[in-house]
Amino acid sequence: MEQIENRRSVRKYQNTKIENEKLTAILESARLAPSGSNTQPWTFIIVTSDETKRQLAAANHQQAWMNTAPVFIVCVTDIRCRMPNASLSLDENSPEFELKQCIRDTSIAISHLLLEAQQQGLGTCWTGWFEQKDVRPVLGIPKDKYVCGIITLGYADEAPSPRPRKALREIVRYEKW
């Protein structure tokens, strides 16, 4: 619970390199995430190039604060694990149920990644204010893959306060709606 309670979305990072062991542990935590039918639809692209990070931040609604992070982890899902013969061009309006399943599963892996980063003493922010058509070309991601999020990763250079959360009584129901 401590990692969950203390995790924050960090938008300002120190100019400090992330140790390879920590990055490997973070990626390993995502690799171990559960997925429907054990499909494991995720791929993670590690970005450290300043120019590529600038392009991704620009594609992500010009969020220049992202560039303070030393590492971006671009989280991609692959519908082919559920539709092996699909010839699709996926975007925000794609109706395929299988895509929604893959996004769900990749989101579980991303949550593992965020919590392990917290455990490793690193800050993160899950960004997703982009369209597929803008972010995929930056990394050469095929049109049949779907970018679920770009995670900024680094040593935090800020300590955001906790955000308000609803009480359990507001979000939990028993047996029925």
For 27-86, write each residue's pLDDT tens digit. Answer: 999 999 999 999 999 999 999 999 999 999 999 999 999 999 999 999 999 998 998 887
Name the CA radius of gyration of the chain, rounded: 17
Is position 145 within any domain? yes
Residue 176 lies in a domain: no
Domain contains 177:
no
Q: Which domain holds residue 41?
A: 2-171
Show the CA angle centred on residue 167, arms to residues 162 and 170, nearest 5°.
135
Does 75 map to a domain? yes
142: its two tokens: 């095929």
Write down the pTM of the prediction: 0.94
CA distances from 107 to 33, 64, 103 (A): 10, 24, 6
Collect all residues with Cβ–Cβ distance below 8 Å to 143 and sequence separation of at least 6.
88, 89, 90, 132, 136
